[in-house]
Amino acid sequence: MSSSEDRPRRDDDSRYRDAKGRQRPEVRRTGGRDRTALRPADRRRGGDPARKTAWEVSRRVAEGAYANLELPKALRHNGVDGRDAAFATELTYGAIRMRGLYDAVIEFAAGRPASQIDPPVLDTLRLGAHQILGMRVPPHAAASETVALAREVNGTGASGFVNAVLRRITERTRAEWIAEVTGGRDHLDALAVEHSHPLWIVRALRGSLLAGGAADDEHLDAALIALLAADNAPPKVSLVARPGLASVAELVDAGAEASKLSPVGATLGHGDPADIPAIRQTRAAVQDEGSQLLALAFAAADGSGAGHEEWLDLCAGPGGKAALLATLAAGQDAVLFANEVSEHRTELVRRTMAAAIDAGIEVMVGTGDGRELGSEEPDTYDRVLVDAPCTGLGALRRRPEARWRRNPGDIPTLTALQTELLNSALDAAKPGGLVGYATCSPHVAETTEVVRAVLERRDDVQAEDARGLFRDAAGQQVTDLGDGPTVQLWPHVHGTDAMFFALLRKAGGDR
Ligand SMILES: C[S@@+](CC[C@H](N)C(=O)[O-])C[C@H]1O[C@@H](n2cnc3c(N)ncnc32)[C@H](O)[C@@H]1O
């Protein structure tokens, strides 16, 4: 990772410049070049709205909220938009995501453990650390503005402490701080701190890379570092054009770029997806390209041979894959049943499906415990998808707080549920039918281990090689999918979430 010294620095007030590089009049009035050199915090008592928004969202996240839900509300409430909103977004997400590294730096600079710093003050310090070490804000401006924020939200007394700690942080580059706070740690622990992941997740990701054949011993370290770095990079906005309802060309006309990976995908470089009519109308949606490829692969597999097929999405909420599957099923004379355990999420599935339903596509949406469906409706469906509840370790780049919320104790409960759901799906599948098992986690306990444990206890199921079903936009097989027969996608290799997919065939039937 490059140090902050390597990067070009933005001018202090460049956030306030217009498209032609001119400063906005109000900034020129209050803060020309000479005035800026006096430090904004010395002139203004309060924090600016963008930084204050980032702090407010950080506080709510500390109380259990999700940053991606809180931030838009807070931006609206505080009237922060345009470049200031982009700044607040980068600041909020970065400070939460990189908390592992920044806390280590703050502890060193403050001379006390982070646990002994008042949490609202610690949040202010993390925002300051991210501006100094992770953004292109000049260090002195970052410190001064953050001290002004501290004065407003933490009080005058605490702002002195914030000032002292941030001034110390500005004395070194990012690279120097990383060397300082990782020195003396063992290799994985040092990677965990530098790349701001809990150590147990670093260990789990390393195990997954090795087990799935994504890296051999020689290249394991480089692959792990690339993966950790990819988790810290904000993901691109991927769109799906639901077949028969929208086209990639329509999304391209709306400003997106056609995906090279997904035949039904596009990437939006800038702008709000909600401004695209096809998205507002649920003919298209925001969806990771890995999820798109997975649904396309599931639909492309050889069916049970029984003709008019019935497909079941066992864990459908909020409905992203179900909506794609419904349109794909309609194109193959099949019908989709979408099941979800939570009433609220079943309602989300219905909303996601609105355009498909309006277009006359036959789709049944219902609420039920997927673990019981196998015994309630045995030997019924030609295909069953289990997109299982999981740790989400494959989508850490999307949820800045997720890595700090999960813990290894979550895994046994989840794998028990995943195993039950997979067994139930197999029971619900017709003889000769297919079951797809998917997670947005690459953790082997949730992926290959669940599949292995289920196959070991059943004599009516076989795994099929799913790799040939993953086709890119040019129709070529997607590369680097692992040793098979299962598929593992990776953020650092494919640019997708780390989705896992296994394809299982139930014995019997006409095949
Ligand atoms: C990974 S999400 C599915 C994502 C969805 N397929 C999509 O693409 O939008 C897992 C879903 O399983 C649901 N779930 C959890 N336990 C379940 C159960 N026992 N039966 C059915 N669904 C369950 C969760 O509520 C959650 O909506």
Kindly indicate the confidence band of residue 8, based on its pLDDT and cuts at 50, 70 and 90. very low
Whether the predicted pLDDT of 135 surpasses 60: yes
Q: Where are the beta strands (DSSP E) in 210-307?
A: 237-241, 257-258, 265-268, 284-286
- Measured by CA distance, the residue closest to atom 15 of ligand 1 is 389
Contact 498, 395 (CB under 8 A): yes
Q: What is the DSSP letter of 17?
A: B
Q: Which of 74-78, 209-213, 274-278, 365-369 has the lowest mean pLDDT?
A: 209-213
For residue range 320-349, list pLDDT tens digits in order.
999 999 999 999 999 999 999 999 999 999
Tokens 């019935």 — which residue?
Answer: 310
Per DSSP, the residues of 339-388 read EES-HHHHHHHHHHTHHHHHTT--EEEEE--HHHHHHHSTT-EEEEEEE-
Whether the predicted pLDDT of 363 surpasses 60: yes
CB atoms within 10 A of CB 27: 17
**Overall residue count recorded for the chain in this entry:** 511
Of residues 217, 180, 234, the one with CA closest to residue 68: 234
Of 288, 340, 427, best ligand 1 pocket probe by most atoms within 8 Å of the beta carbon:
340
| Beta pairing class for 310-313 and 335-340 | parallel
C-alpha separations of 391 from 253, 343, 394, 486 in Å = 37, 21, 8, 19
Of residues 318, 417, 429, 335, the one with CA closest to residue 369: 417
Per DSSP, the residues of 28-39 read HHH--HHHHHT-
The ligand 1 atom at the shortest distance from the C-alpha of residue 370 is 20
Contacts 24+ apart (CB under 8 A), 145-148: 145/40, 145/41, 145/47, 145/48, 145/51, 146/47, 146/51, 147/41, 148/40, 148/41, 148/44, 148/45, 148/46, 148/47, 148/48
Q: Where is 437: in which H helix or E strand?
A: strand 429-439
390 is in an annotated binding site: no
Q: How far is the CA of 196 from the centre of ligand 1 (A)?
A: 28
Name every protein residue with a CB atom under 6 angstroms from any ligand 1 atom.
291, 314-321, 339-342, 345, 369-371, 387, 389
Whole-model pTM? 0.90
3-class SS of residue 435? strand
For residue range 254-295, list pLDDT tens digits in order.
999 999 999 999 999 988 899 999 999 999 999 999 999 999
- Measured by CA distance, the residue closest to atom 6 of ligand 1 is 316
Tokens 């008592």 — which residue?
Answer: 45
Catalytic residue check, 440: yes
For residue range 184-220, list pLDDT tens digits in order.
999 999 999 999 999 999 999 999 999 988 888 889 9
Q: How far is the CA of 440 from the centre of ligand 1 (A)?
A: 11
C-alpha separations of 212 from 10, 268, 317, 496 in Å = 42, 31, 28, 16
Q: How far apart are CA 95 and CA 103, in angstroms?
A: 10
Average predicted confidence (pLDDT) for the chain: 91
Whether the predicted pLDDT of 39 surpasses 70: no
Q: What's the pLDDT score for residue 216?
A: 85
Per DSSP, the residues of 221-245 read HHHHHHHHHHHTSPPPEEEEE-TTT
- Percent of the chain exceeding pLDDT 70 equals 90
Residue 431 burial (C-beta neighbours within 10 Å; 0-12, 13-18, 19+): middle
Q: Where is 452: in which H helix or E strand?
A: helix 448-457
